[in-house]
A and B are shown apart, each in its own frame.
Chain A
Amino acid sequence: NAGVMQNPRHLVRRRGQEARLRCSPMKGHSHVYWYRQLPEEGLKFMVYLQKENIIDESGMPKERFSAEFPKEGPSILRIQQVVRGDSAAYFCASSPSRQGDYGYTFGSGTRLTVV
């Protein structure tokens, strides 16, 4: 009964490189949400996806960030040309339906450090 799996747990990238963060939702969950936690702050919503569809990306920065949730495989959050300000913990959550019904199950996060 695996929970939400995120990898890698820690990721170090140099400025200008690309970061790929992966999230495998719980079995039976088809809704995935990405959040970002900056140091000393709460979580901020980034994007909500269902299989092959982006439902709400209102929290995604306009440039360099993208997300996908393909028919097969994990959801990917991609950050191109990373900058120091991208250093944060990125959390993925999944749910069997829209969040209002059941609440999320969160993964343990990926901690991105940009050097």
Chain B
Amino acid sequence: AQSVTQPDIHITVSEGASLELRCNYSYGATPYLFWYVQSPGQGLQLLLKYFSGDTLVQGIKGFEAEFKRSQSSFNLRKPSVHWSDAAEYFCAVGYYNTDKLIFGTGTRLQVFP
């Protein structure tokens, strides 16, 4: 079955430190990949998405993600974290022949001053 794994449930970083959130997907066909952010009590906001082409994708708020087909990964990165980045981050995967996104269980990011 198709699945998305976010191995880190909770990550804590200091403000200004770099960040990498991990995401792995299970299915081998060409995926569409997404990262969403959810602030407490809010909906999901799209950070970035990958469909094809350049495997390094730039998103909003200074985030980027790199698609590595050999590792079935789509890790999210930010060089310098801000306190306002504290939120829950979800990786999701879709495929051309389906109509639904499959979400990981999320990584909760805490930022210390």
Report A's interface with B, CB cutoff 8 A.
4, 6, 33, 35, 40-45, 48, 55-56, 58-59, 91, 98-100, 103-109, 111
A-B residue pairs, 10 tightest by C-beta: A42-B103, A45-B100, A108-B43, A106-B44, A106-B43, A43-B103, A42-B105, A48-B99, A100-B96, A56-B99
Knowing that A44-B103, A100-B99 touch, tell me 16 more A-B residue pairs with CB under 8 angstroms: A33-B99, A42-B105, A45-B102, A48-B99, A48-B100, A55-B99, A56-B100, A58-B100, A99-B101, A100-B32, A100-B98, A103-B32, A103-B34, A106-B45, A107-B43, A108-B43
Q: List 23 A-B contacts (CB under 8 A).
A: A33-B99, A33-B100, A40-B105, A41-B105, A42-B105, A43-B90, A43-B92, A43-B103, A45-B100, A45-B101, A48-B100, A56-B99, A91-B43, A91-B44, A99-B94, A100-B32, A100-B95, A100-B96, A104-B46, A105-B46, A106-B45, A109-B43, A111-B41
Q: How many residues of B contact A (CB 8 A)?
A: 26
A residues near B41, Cβ cutoff 8 Å: 111
The answer for the CA separation of A3 and B82 in the assembled complex, in Å, is 26
Report B's interface with A, CB cutoff 8 A.
4, 32, 34, 36, 41-46, 49, 51, 90, 92, 94-96, 98-106
